[in-house]
Amino acid sequence: MEKMNSLIARALSRRKFLVGAGAAGAALTTGALVAGCGGVSPTGSLGPPANPSPSTPSDPDILNFALNLEYLEAEFYLRAATGSGLSDADAGSGAGPVTGGAQVTFPTAALQQYAVEIAQDELNHVRFLRQALGSAAVSRPAIDLTNSFNAVAMAAGIGSSFNPFADSNSFLVGAFVFEDVGVTAYHGAAPLISNKTYLTAAAGILAVEAYHAAEIRSLIYGMSVSTGTATYLNDANAISAVRASLGGGNETPISATSIVAADTTNAIAFDRTTDQVLHIVYAQGAGVVSKGGFFPNGLNGFITTTTA
Amino acid sequence: MATAETQELDAIIADRRRLLTLGGAALAGLAVTGAAKAFAQSTVTDSDILNFALNLEYLEAQYYTYAATGASLTAAGGSTTGGTGTAGTVTIKADPKVPFVDPTIASYAMEVATEERKHVAFLQSALGSSAVSMPNIDLLNSFNGLAVAAGIGPSFDPFAGDLNFLLGSFIFEDVGVTAYHGAAALLSSKTYLDAAAGIMAVEAYHAGLIRTVLYGMNAANPALGINGIASKIAAARASLDGTGNDDIGLGTETVSLNSSSSSYTAATVVDADSNSLAFARTTTQVLAIVYAGGSGMGGFFPSGLNGNIR
């Protein structure tokens, strides 16, 4: 197994070099470039593709894209559950700063336990992806958990500001912002991954994000029933509408008969392109955008900018 | 750029894939009809995998549709007939409609029933004339047998009420997730892979829903011992599939987040491994669970599955 992991790491490293030669390759030293081409090609030349296309990202590019999203989720849940975020070791060298986030006071042990569990899961996803990517792993980009939520709230028409750390109900709505997006992002990415081992891992993370999504959605719906007020349910669905607007549709509002977010014809979960996901996390619609919203300086890695 | 390393890597992956593929089919084939059949089944096609999934969807669709409406998949507008074979029958108690007390849980049942029927229709459509018909399904003796195996009593009626319905659902959903997860990397077609990943996600939504509701009921009324029952079912699944450790029930665990010295109590709503990746099962392992340990048949499928993976 170690042998396989080592081989995969080396194979991925070479793919990274090949596909990212134009952009990511700039970060590599000359020595790394030589090492990356250490294998003898059929023609005996050092031949990276002349025009590596951003539309065909490598497996490491895709996993790094996912890692950025996991950093965001981990910071959100860790801060909500404990008051502090990722350790320096988990955030990587030269990690960007995190703005906002605070420990939430949960009214019941069960709600606290849900938050702790998801924090642990997202932390594990960060660690898993960092380990899988090895030296190719990007560090945490700058993350904003304050202005981002305010911008989402304004776009959703639910107020001029929104603090998901204010109380348990607000936390659930804040969590709702992320989970279905994670599902669509991993689902969209799955067929793009070449390596079967990483495909299976990504599918495993996809499933866990879907567990989380259903948990959050059913808790929000259950809360609306038990309290007799639909305020937070309506807030969540207003946010769903914003995500649909930014991210190419692909949304199912929460109701008694729609805990699952999926297409209505075949009951297959939605997927999103990296562009659509970026538009949501940057909180900006159509056009070429490279930062904003939850990532004030953009994502780290190869996939950072929308094409339209 | 194919170097010795990448060739070796490809060989390892191909070998791993072959092992995963062989799992159920080969072993069952050896036991029942000998090595020749096992060899033939070593090349599992996308259709074989989708038909394997279709069998599981027939089971789920019938369970939820009967629970929510009291009537069958066919009565709800679905079809039990694929492109090949004759549809089997469903063994179930009289008047199985669950007498739901909580309208929210009744709504959840209706939603899941609808979605499982759509999965049946989707797979039938994707497979076209290759689609298998529904095999014989047992929703009566199967649950009783599992209750004994799990040590939760001599019998179990998942249609008796809200809680029993949720526990019955609990038996299926995580298995569906692991089945699609295990199958994903075996699919050759990217289109089918995309669809299978999307169905897996919906099964995970279902599992997350069922587990969250059960966990909440347990928290509200610990005396019912719901988490303990769910954990016994999870342990039974892990035991049946031969691993003993690829299933997490409902409960709590102590975790230390952020590398700090503080410890916190986490729920175990998500059924996942130590990396927080959902578990995956081979077709053999899934068959062992749905056959309740039977050889080639048993449990929910008294005559076995239809199709090449059985």
B30 strand-pairing partners: none
Determine whether A216 is exposed, middle or buried from the number of CB atoms within 10 Å of its CB (0-12, 13-18, 19+): buried
Query: Is B254 touching A (CB cutoff 8 A)?
Result: no
Determine whether A290 is exposed, middle or buried from the number of CB atoms within 10 Å of its CB (0-12, 13-18, 19+): middle
B74-97 residue pLDDT tens: 999 999 999 888 999 999 999 999
B84 strand-pairing partners: B132
CA distance A231 to A254: 13
Query: Is A11 touching B (CB cutoff 8 A)?
Result: yes
DSSP string across A189-256: HGGG---HHHHHHHHHHHHHHHHHHHHHHHHHHHHHHHHS--HHHHHHHHHHHHHHHHTTS-----BT
Q: Do A204 and B280 touch (CB under 8 A)?
A: yes
Query: Is B260 touching A (CB cutoff 8 A)?
Result: yes
Q: Do A213 and B208 touch (CB under 8 A)?
A: yes
- The answer, yes or no, to whether residue A58 has pLDDT greater than 70, is yes
A180-215 residue pLDDT tens: 999 999 999 999 999 999 999 999 999 999 999 999
| Mutation for testing the B interface, residue in A2, A40, A264, A266 having most B CBs under 10 Å | A266
| Mutation for testing the A interface, residue in B270, B271, B274 having most A CBs under 10 Å | B270
Strands (E), chain B: 90-91, 137-138, 252-255, 264-267
B 104-143 → A contacts, CB under 8 A = 104, 107-108, 110-111, 114-116, 118-119, 121-122
Determine whether A29 is exposed, middle or buried from the number of CB atoms within 10 Å of its CB (0-12, 13-18, 19+): exposed
Q: Do A40 and B257 touch (CB under 8 A)?
A: no
B259 neighbourhood in chain A, CB within 8 Å: 87, 89-90
Identify whether the C-beta of residue A96 lies closer than 8 Å to the C-beta of residue A139. yes
Identify whether the C-beta of residue B299 lies closer than 8 Å to the C-beta of residue B291. yes
CA distance A125 to B20: 24
A157-180 residue pLDDT tens: 999 999 999 999 999 999 999 999
Q: Do B205 and A212 touch (CB under 8 A)?
A: no
Query: Is A212 touching B (CB cutoff 8 A)?
Result: yes
- For residue A28, the one-letter residue type is L
A87 neighbourhood in chain B, CB within 8 Å: 258-259
Instruction: Return the closest-CA partner of residue B76 out of B88, B87, B85, B64.
Output: B64
CA distance A198 to A201: 5
CA distance A187 to A206: 7
DSSP string across B138-158: ESSHHHHHHHHHHTS-S---T
Q: Do B204 and A206 touch (CB under 8 A)?
A: yes
CA distance A222 to B208: 14
pLDDT at A194: 94
B107 neighbourhood in chain A, CB within 8 Å: 256-257
As given in the structure block, the two tokens for residue A86 are 């990722």
The reply to whether ipTM tops 0.90 is: no
CA distance B143 to B205: 23
Q: Do A261 and B215 touch (CB under 8 A)?
A: no
B189-221 residue pLDDT tens: 999 999 999 999 999 999 999 999 999 999 999
- The answer, yes or no, to whether residue A22 has pLDDT greater than 60, is no
Kindly report each contact of residues B91-95 with a partner whose C-beta sits within 8 Å and lies 24 or more positions away, as own/partner.
Answer: B91/B136, B91/B137, B91/B138, B91/B139, B91/B140, B91/B141, B91/B302, B92/B62, B92/B66, B92/B139, B92/B140, B93/B139, B93/B140, B93/B157, B93/B159, B95/B70
End-to-end CA distance of chain B: 40
Tell which wins on pLDDT, B74 or A54: B74
Chain B closest CA to A63's CA: distance in Å? Answer: 14
CA distance A112 to A207: 22
Identify whether the C-beta of residue B278 lies closer than 8 Å to the C-beta of residue A208. yes
Query: Strand, coil or helix: what is A274?
Result: helix
| Mutation for testing the A interface, residue in B107, B226, B274, B276 having most A CBs under 10 Å | B276
CB atoms within 10 A of CB A51: 7
A209-266 residue pLDDT tens: 999 999 999 999 999 999 999 999 999 999 999 999 999 999 999 999 999 999 999 9
Q: Do B119 and A266 touch (CB under 8 A)?
A: yes
Identify whether the C-beta of residue A48 lies closer than 8 Å to the C-beta of residue A79. no
Mean pLDDT, consecutive 10-residue segments, chain B of 310 residues? 44 41 34 35 86 98 98 97 93 98 98 98 97 98 95 96 98 95 94 97 98 98 97 97 96 87 93 97 97 96 97
Query: Strand, coil or helix: what is A97?
Result: coil
Instruction: Return the closest-CA partner of residue A258 out of A246, A247, A248, A270.
Output: A270
Rounded to 5 degrees, what angle do the CA atoms B250, B151, B31 make?
Answer: 100
CA distance B26 to B24: 6
Give Cβ neighbours of residue B233 (< 8 Å, ≥ 6 apart): B146, B150, B152, B167, B170, B171, B249
CA distance A152 to A155: 5
Q: Do A211 and B260 touch (CB under 8 A)?
A: no
Chain B closest CA to A284's CA: distance in Å? Answer: 26
Chain A closest CA to B113's CA: distance in Å? Answer: 10
Taking CB atoms and an 8 Å cut-off, how many pairs form between chains A and B? Answer: 257
The helix or strand, by DSSP H or E, that contains position A143, with its residue range, turns out to be: strand A143-144
- For residue B45, the one-letter residue type is T
A194 neighbourhood in chain B, CB within 8 Å: none
By Cβ distance, the residue of A39, A89, A266 closest to B122 is A266
- The answer, yes or no, to whether residue A55 has pLDDT greater than 80, is no
Query: Is A230 touching B (CB cutoff 8 A)?
Result: no
Q: Do A210 and B205 touch (CB under 8 A)?
A: yes
Confidence of residue A50 (pLDDT cuts 50, 70, 90): very low
Give Cβ neighbours of residue A196 (< 8 Å, ≥ 6 apart): B13, B16, B17, B185
CA distance A49 to A68: 27
Confidence of residue A286 (pLDDT cuts 50, 70, 90): confident
Tell which wins on pLDDT, A297 or B22: A297
> Which residues in A15-25 are b (16+ Cβ under 10 Å) and which e?
bbbbbbbeebb
CA distance B299 to B140: 9
By Cβ distance, the residue of A39, A120, A213 closest to B3 is A39
Instruction: Return the closest-CA partner of residue A294 out of A88, A147, A173, A160.
Output: A147
- The answer, yes or no, to whether residue A17 has pLDDT greater than 60, is no
Helix axes A168-189, A196-227, angle to 10 degrees: 150
Determine whether A84 is exposed, middle or buried from the number of CB atoms within 10 Å of its CB (0-12, 13-18, 19+): middle
Query: Is A67 touching B (CB cutoff 8 A)?
Result: no
For chain B, the domains span 16-290
Helix axes A109-133, B190-220, angle to 10 degrees: 150
CB atoms within 10 A of CB A150: 17
